[in-house]
Amino acid sequence: MLNQALNSGAIPLMPHPDGRPAQWAVSTAPVPYPEAVAFMQARVEAIVEGKAGELVWLLEHPPLYTAGISSKNGDLLDATRFPVFHTERGGQFTYHGPGQQVAYVMLDLRERGRDVRRFVQSLEAWVIDSLAALEVSGELRDGRVGVWVERETADGRREDKIAALGVKLRRWVSFHGVSLNVRPDLSHFAGIVPCGVTDHGVTSLADLGRAADMADAQAALKASFERVFGPVMEVKAPL
């Protein structure tokens, strides 16, 4: 169904107007959060100045919590469990760690329409289309950021979050991005109220019984990104 929506134009696509590919990099070892942020900030400035091209960077982090600009102190339930980093992205508290695929998206919206709402919708469509390739039906919910799955449990049906989204724009160039739970340790989320939502939990591909590994997730994300945002060109990871 989403494929039909993408093809019909119901989902807003954001290709580069001249078909220029975005660079696509995948780090194979966990990247410390401060180093990743420092690189993103420098890359965004270079894109703004016309000295570097767009980049999508896939990676994993060591276990940590990040606090977005809307975070509330009370949502940090265990400040001693993992390092806590305050960040410029939108949103509240989020966990990152091994088994979670983070995708940092550095795109030049000056070339792609200068439409923040359309950009966010396109990111959501990217994640949902990627999940469909992994045999998971991802959905959006009013008032709740991210991508959710409805599932049957011993206690009845419930909705859990499988992917988070938090972005920042600097002079119309994006950074930060999305995170998809492939097979992280879900108990690590217990140190925070994820994204400020107390009535629902978190899940992962593994928790849903999917056999997909990180390589499968990366392949799905790449194929779907090209459908939503246009072609990519693989490059060496920066870190």
| Three-state SS at 217 | helix
Per CATH, the homologous superfamily of domain 2-14+21-234 is Bira Bifunctional Protein; Domain 2 (3.30.930.10)
The domain segmentation of the chain, as residue ranges, is 2-14+21-234
- Which positions are annotated as active-site residues? 195
Residues contacting 156, CB < 8 A, separation 6+: none
**Over the stretch 179-227, which tens digit does the pLDDT of each residue have?**
999 999 999 999 999 988 888 899 999 999 999 999 999 999 999 999 9
Q: What is the mean pLDDT of the chain?
A: 93
Written as six digits, the tokens of 213 are: 């590994």
Q: Please provide the DSSP assignment of 106-174 as one string.
A: E-BHHHHTS-HHHHHHHHHHHHHHHHHHTT---EEETTEEEEEEEEEETTEEEEEEEEEEEEEEETTEE
Q: Could you tell me if 107 and 118 are in contact, meaning their C-beta atoms sit under 8 angstroms apart?
A: no
Q: What is the pTM of this model?
A: 0.94
Return the minimum-mean-pLDDT range out of 23-27, 147-151, 193-197.
193-197
